[in-house]
Amino acid sequence: MTPEQILARRAWRQMALRDEEYHRLVEMLGRHPNWTELGMFAVLWSEHCAYKHSRLHLGQLPTEAEWVLVGPGENAGVLDVGEEMAVAFRIESHNHPIAVEPYQGAATGVGGIIRDVLAMGARPIALLDSLRFGPPEEPRCRYTFAGVVSGIAGYGNCVGVPTVGGELYFEEPYRHNPLCNVMCIGILPRSRLRRARAAGIGNSVILVGSRTGRDGIHGATFASEELDERSEERRPAVQVGDPFTEKLLIEACLELVERELVVGIQDMGAAGITSSCAETAARAGTGMRIDLDRVPLREEGMTPYEIMLSESQERMLIIAPRGKEEAVLEVCRRWGLEGAVIGEVTGDGHLKVFWRGELVADVPVKALAAGAPVYDAPASPPSDLEQRWRVPSLPEPTDCGEVLKLLLRSPSLAHKSWVWEQYDHMVQVNTVVLPGADAAVLRLKGTRKGIAASCDGNGRYTYLDPYRGAVLAVAEACRNVSCVGARPLGITNCLNFGNPEKPDVMWSFREVVRGMADACRALGVPVTGGNVSFYNESPAGPVYPTPVVGAVGLLERIEERVPSVFPGPGYRIALLGSTRAWLQGSEYLKVMYQLVAGRPPEVDLRLERAVQQVCRAAARRGLLASAHDCAEGGLAVTLAESCFSPEPVGASVKLPPELGNAAGLFGEGPSRVVVSFAPQAESRLRALCVEHGVGLLLLGWTVAEARLQIRCEDRVLVDEDVGGLMAEWQNALPSLMG
C-alpha cells in the first residue's frame, strides 16, 4: 500500500464519507484509493451530488409530456414552445454559502444556474430568486439579507441577465440557515439543443473560461453537512464569481454551439473537473483521459487533488469533434477567454488522470458518477405534529383596518421594491410584465408568444402539513402563471430540508414529494428537474421544510396578458373560484398572535385546475381587466394590492355574511382569484365559469375615489385611504433596512 493510500484510509470520515461507503468504494475499485481518488469520490458521493437520501423518492414525480424535450438528469429541463423554439429552465440552491459569505454565496449561485441553462445551448434571458431569512429586526439577518440581494444584483446586472421576479419570506427557523434558491430561464432554437455527454471516442476534452484556483474546494461536501459554530472557517469552500468573464463565456459557448463545434457541454459546478468529466462520460457510456499539466492554473503549487476538486467559477467543459480543436480555441481567444485541450474521450469506461507524466487517478466513471449508495432512511412524523395543528379560540378583531395595515407592513407581505430596484430587470428588453405581478412575463422575440414564470413556496404551511404544503406550492405557482393568462408547461423544484438522517425530516421530505407528485399529475404539469438541498440545519434546529416551485408557462399571444392590478374605475370586482378560507397557518395568526399553528388548507385539485382553466380562457377572450391570486394575507390584502396601481384605484366591496369575519377577510385558501372586468363582459365570464363548474362571487366595483371600503350587511369592516395603505406596504422593508 502506498503512503497516499495509507493517508486516504485515515481521512475518509473527514471528507463526509461513512465507513460503509468507504468499504463500498474499496470493493468497487478492488483496492484502497489514493488521496486524489478519495477526494473525487468524496465529492461525487456527497449528498449534494449523489442524492443518496432523495433519489429513491423522486421517481414518484411525473416528468413526461409531449412538449418535454429534456427532463430530469441533465443540466436543465427543456420545453417545446412551438415555432422551432424551446425554453430551458432550472432552479438551484446556494444555502450554505450565503450563511458564511452572503455576497459571494449569492453571486456564485446566480453564475452557476446561468451556466446550467447555457449548457443546454440556450441563451439565459431571466432570473428569479426565492429567498428566506430570519427576523429582519436581527442585525445579522439584515446583514445576510442585504448581502444576498447585493450579490444577486451585482452578478446578474453585470452579466446582463435580468432578475424579473421571485419571493421573499422572513421566519425564525431561517435565522441561522438562510435559503437562497435561484432559477434561470433560457431560450434556444430546437436545433441548437445540446446534452452533457462525452460522446465519440477520440473527441477532445476542452476546458473553456477562467483559470483554475483553490477556491471552492469541497464546496459540495460543505453543502452536505449541517452548519455549526465552525462554519465560518469554511469560507474557502465559497467560490468567488466574475460576472464579466461569465458574460464572455456565454457568448463564446453559444457561438461554439452555433458553429457545430460542440458534441457535448457541461458546467463545471460542484466538484469541478471531477464531476464534469465523470458525469459526461457516464452519460455517454465512455471514458476519459485527462492531463492536469494542461489545465490553466492561477495559483502555483496546486496538487492534483486541488485541481480536480476546485470549484473555481466561470468554467465550462466542451467535448469537441476531433480535428476541430483549433477552431474552438480561436473562438475562445476572440472572446478573450482561456481555452485548453486537457484530454480526450476514450472507450474504456475509466477516468484516468495524469500529472507530470504519472497516472494519479484511475477510476471507473460509472462508479464515480452513479455508484453512491441509495438510502431508504427511516421516516416518522414529528412527535408534536397534532399539537402543531391546535389553534386556540381567538376573538374577532375590533379594527379590521388596523389589522390590514399590520399585514401590509409584514416583511413577508410588504412591497419588495427595495429588493428588485437593485436588480436590472429590463436588460435584454424581453421583460413585459415587471417584478411585483403574480408572474413575470417575457417576450419571445421574433414571435407573438410570451413566457410567464413564477416562484412559490410557503415553508410555514409545509412545517404544519408537508403533504398539503407541497400541493399548495405547486397549485400557487401554476395559478400565478395562469393569472397572467399563460398555460403552465412545467415546473422545476428546489427542496430545502434539514438532516435527512433524522426520521421526522425524512418523513416531511417523503410527504412533500408525494404531495408534489399528486398536484402535478392533477394539473397536468411535468417536473423537468430541480435540486434537493439537505442538511439545512444548525444547532438551533432545522429550517422549515421548504419546497420552492418554479413554474414556466406559455402565452400564445403576449398582448393577451392580464395585469394583477385594477386598471381604473368602473369595473366589476369578483372572487373567482372558492370562497372558503382558513386562518390556520396564516400570516394573520403569525402577525396578530405570533402563532404558527393549525392545519393549512386542503386543495381540491379538480377545482384548482378548473379555476386556472377559466383564468386562461378568459384571458384569451379578452374578458379580464385584472386577475390577482388570493394567497397570503387573504382577501383583504389581495383587494388592497389590486388597488395599488401606478395611479391608485379605489374599490367598494360588499361581502356576504359568511365572509364578514376574520377568516373571510384575512384567511387563506387555494383556488381563489380576485378579478376585475368590464360590466359588459359579465355574462360571457359567468357562462365560462358555469362551463367549468367554477363559482363567481360578485364583490363590488372599482371607484374613482382612492379608498378601499369593505362592508358586510350594515357594517363597515374596512374604510381606508388607498394611498395610506400603499405607503404602509411600500415603506415597510426600506424602514427595516434603514
Output the 3-class SS for 531-574: EEECCCEECCEECCCEEEEEEEEEECCHHHCCCCCCCCCCCEEE
- In 3D space, the residue among 314, 312, 281 whose CA is nearest the CA of residue 219 turns out to be 312
Cell of 661: 369575519
Residues 6 or more apart whose CB falls under 8 angstroms from that of 33 comprise 5, 8, 25, 26, 41, 363
Helix, coil or strand: residue 653: strand
User: Of 269, 309, 275, whose CA–CA distance to 108 is shortest?
Assistant: 269
* Residues forming beta bridges with residue 182, ordered by sequence position: 92, 129
Q: At how many degrees (to 10) do helices 466-483 and 605-620 cross?
A: 10
* 629: its cell numbers: 391570486
Contact 490, 526 (CB under 8 A): yes
> Is there a catalytic annotation at residue 48?
yes
Give the single-character DSSP code of 641: H
Per the listing, cell 429541463 goes with 77
CA 290 from centre of chain: 34
Task: Report DSSP state, residue 679.
Answer: G
CB 589 within 8 A of CB 662: no
Q: Are 184 and 330 spatial neighbours (Cβ–Cβ below 8 Å)? A: no
Q: Choose, from 53, 57, 94, 96, the residue flagged as catalytic.
A: 94
Helices (H), 421-529: 459-464, 466-483, 503-523
Alpha-carbon distances of 98 from 176, 232, 238, 272, rounded to whole Å? 11, 11, 8, 20
Pick the closest to residue 293 from 209, 200, 359, 210 (CA basis).
359
Q: Would you put residue 337 in left (φ > 0), alpha (ψ -120 to 50) or beta?
A: beta
DSSP secondary structure letter of residue 395: P
The number of CA neighbours under 13 Å toward the Cβ of 200 is: 16
Written as nine digits, the cell of 625 is 381587466
The one-letter code for the residue type at 467 is Y
Which distant-in-sequence residues (6+ apart) come within 8 Å of 168 by Cβ? 131, 132, 133, 411, 412, 416, 419
**Nearest residue to 321 via CA among 400, 264, 393:** 264
Query: Rg of the Cα trace of the chain?
Result: 26
Can you spell out the DSSP letters for 130-152?
A: EEEES-TTSHHHHHHHHHHHHHH
Rounded to whole angstroms, the Cα distance separating 279 from 284 reads 9
DSSP, collapsed to helix, strand or coil, labels residue 198 as coil
- Which burial class, exposed, middle or buried, applies to 561 when counting CB atoms under 10 A from its CB (0-12, 13-18, 19+)? buried
Mapped onto helix, strand or coil, the DSSP state of residue 654 is strand
Alpha carbon distance 627, 637 (integer Å) = 14
Cα separation, 19 vs 637, whole angstroms: 54
Maximum distance among all Cα pairs of the chain, rounded to whole angstroms: 89
| CA separation for the pair 75, 77 (Å, rounded) | 7
Number of other residues whose CB lies within 10 A of the CB of residue 247 = 17
23 catalytic? Reply is: no
Spatial strand order of the sheet with 287-291 comes to: 264-267, 315-320, 204-209, 338-346, 287-291, 350-355, 358-364
How far apart (Å, rounded) are the C-alpha atoms in residues 589 and 728? Answer: 19
Catalytic residue list = 48, 94
